[in-house]
Chains A and B, each alone.
Chain A
Amino acid sequence: MNLFKAELRRIARRRLTLVFGIIAAAGLLVLAAVFWFTSSKGPTEAELADAQAEADRLNEENYEYEECLDDEAYFETEEYSFIEGEPYYEDMTHDELCADMFGMWTAEDLIYTYTFDFAAESPLILIGVAIIAGLVMMMLASSLIGAEWSSGGMANLLLWHPNRMKVWGAKLGAAAAVCVAAVVVLMVLAFGLLYVIAAARGEVGDLDSGWWNENLEKFARAGVLSVGMTLLGASLAMLGRHTAISGGIIAGYLIVGDMLVRFAAMALEMAYPERLSLYTWVSAWIEGRVELFDWSDVSSEQADVMVITSSEAGLLLGGIVFLFAALATWAFKRRDVA
């Protein structure tokens, strides 16, 4: 327990923690600012009037449209005979037909208003916040272990605590605890900020029990994913005994490795090549299910469907984390500290 507390304090006192904390706070503020300035409750009367005037001016310049409006018999030529009997055009007045054919400008075309809808849009943003928090914590955790190795602090610590499993447990526990705290704090802050923005400059929407039921589960799964990433980062750093090795492997896989695997799947003409991508499984884990379609069977009208549920994705992702954590544990237990 002492060891765990000391590890927490070690994390708290690290400069990288401070740097990441500042970056996270700045990120939240930027996010809030973006929504604050882009969202609005809709155009004002004056804005609408301005836009209408501009639309009228543009319409006047539209020579064909003007001509069409002036000529009641504009469509009674051979060229436009297809209009007759078309249900789409049946109920249109002449003016409407002109607008449809020659594109009349309206005030709505010229005025862009975006109204932030909290109930509809915040879940995705909050999940993004959780995943980014997880990525940051993954880096922090790998640096926590990696820097301890490369600075020689690990050997020192083991002189005080020869039970390596306790040391490893304390470190993993501390990293996971900090990760949970960071994810919860960031999500709560993001939730609060977005809610305030929605109330002030957008729509809050319906946050009924159905919304909470659906989204709380997703948020929790995103949080679990973040903890998994943290453990993976720490394990890789323990295996490589260096921060850069852990970071390199993860970034390398996510950017290059994932792509290579997908290319390989395509080259092999494998069905559902997306299932080899980690991203597919991550989104299945968070969304609850993902459907992959296979159109290769040309004789059939319907595509073959492969469904990945969140429990399948959880098993796979959890298995990967577990595998590396177990390897790291084994390596730490067995290998010499030189």
Chain B
Amino acid sequence: MPPIIEISGLRKTYSRAFRQPHNALDGLDLEVAAGQVHGFLGPNGSGKTTTLRALLGLIRVDGGTMRIFGEEVPQRLPEVVSRIGAVVESPQFFKHFSGRLTLQLLAESAGVSKARVEEVLEQVGLRDAAKASVKGYSLGMRQRLAVAQALLKQPQLLILDEPANGLDPAGIHHMRELLQWLAHSQGVTVVVSSHLLSEVQQLCDSMTIVSRGRRIVDGNVADIIAGHGESSLSVRFPDAASLPEAAEALVSASSGLEGPKAAVSAAIDRDRLVVKGAPEAAWVTRTLADAGIYLSELRTETKNLESVFLELTGTAPVPGQTVQIGESVVVPQAPSVPVSAGEVTVQVESEGAER
């Protein structure tokens, strides 16, 4: 089966007064297979929204080709648009219309039945708020209305830009169920952009990670997590003073190991030691015991998307080093990253530092 979305070499350059033009998309590739929930992941400003806008014909691009359902877009977009439901970045609606009227006008303009409007209002949980004007909607309610708007056409391809934005936990849960149901039992292909990594991990089957307008990696979510993200061990001691000593012991012991995986790193993270590249947990306990250091806790950190993501997009640049465009290194990283932390703030390096 051919991919539902095929993008190759997409370029978009924003010209800026008195400054060098800015490549928001720098030869981006993207493929989305049918019947999947596909995550589109990247740090802020990496070009996710720009890509989706280009795909939906809202902006012109400066190069590259895009196909949806095998049709060249944006040229053939009018032919395929009835099969695409989309939400692009914090959707806004005319404030004085009610949610229902907003949907009804769209439905009428495309010849969708009125009954369908009620159906989607029910589906996104807006039935009781449908009569109120959008002015009084909360962020989450607007988001729901936007999703309702995208579902209205009964699309075969659903493109959602940060759909979880502003939703409460119940809403996120409901959204996840809905999207997975659509993809897995209705055969709808769903593309979800996000920087909520845990969200993507729970929701998506496959994903594409972008940085600075370029694809870094794509594939099955589980495969990516398995293939990247080294295992790491978190080690604690009764006395925090033994941390440096322990780190030194491990690193020096690792030089005795053979094989390509010989590089063991041990980084101190507050009151614990994060050990990467160790052959096995037993090797750590043995080495430390040999050095006369006894540990109080040893835990294997589960790998997750966050660590993969940070690894892929932010391979720990040396501070002060200039990073050239297109090297897809965006994340200035702390020496050690708490890999199990729930949320990571990803900061985009300031534009000036690029060059």
Chain A residues within 8 Å of B, Cβ to Cβ: 2-3, 5-7, 9-10, 13-15, 147-148, 151-153, 155-163, 334, 336-338
Contact = CB atoms under 8 A, between A and B. Distances in A.
Interface in B88-114: 88, 91-97, 101, 105-106, 108-111
Contacts of A151: 92-95
B58 A155 contact: yes
State the 3 A-B residue pairs at the shortest beta-carbon distance, nearest first.
A152-B92, A6-B109, A336-B59
A152 B81 CA distance: 19
A156 B91 contact: yes
Nearest to A3: B109
Contacts of A337: 53, 58-59
Nearest to B81: A162
Nearest to B85: A159
B109 A163 contact: no
A159 B109 CA distance: 12
A338 to B, nearest CB: 7
B60 interface: yes
Contacts, number: 80
B329 to A, nearest CB: 27
Given A151-B93, A152-B93, A159 B108 contact: no
A162 B94 contact: no
A153 B94 contact: yes
A162 B78 contact: yes
Name, among A153, A155, A159, A334, the residue most crowded by chain B CB atoms within 10 Å (CB to CB): A159
A49 B298 CA distance: 119
Given A156-B149, A162-B74, A14 B96 contact: yes
Interface in B312-334: none
Interface string B218-256: 000000000000000000000000000000000000000
Contacts of A161: 78, 81, 109-110
Given A153-B94, A336-B58, 11 more contacts: A6-B109, A15-B96, A148-B94, A155-B92, A156-B92, A160-B153, A161-B81, A161-B110, A336-B59, A338-B53, A338-B59
Nearest to B58: A337
A1 to B, nearest CB: 9
B77 interface: yes
Contacts of A160: 81, 106, 109-110, 153
A148 B93 CA distance: 8
Contact of A6 (B60, B96, B108): B108
B106 A163 contact: no
A149 B77 CA distance: 21
Contacts of A9: 105, 108
B56 interface: yes
Given A6-B109, A157-B106, A162 B96 contact: no
Contact of B57 (A14, A156, A158, A338): A158
Interface in B46-75: 53, 56-60, 74
Contact of B97 (A5, A13, A159, A162): A13
Contact of B110 (A2, A7, A15, A147): A2
A335 to B, nearest CB: 9
Contacts of B92: 151-153, 155-156
A160 B88 CA distance: 12
Nearest to A336: B59
20 contacts: A6-B106, A13-B97, A148-B94, A151-B92, A152-B92, A152-B93, A153-B93, A153-B94, A155-B88, A155-B92, A156-B92, A158-B57, A159-B56, A159-B81, A159-B84, A160-B153, A161-B81, A161-B109, A162-B74, A337-B53
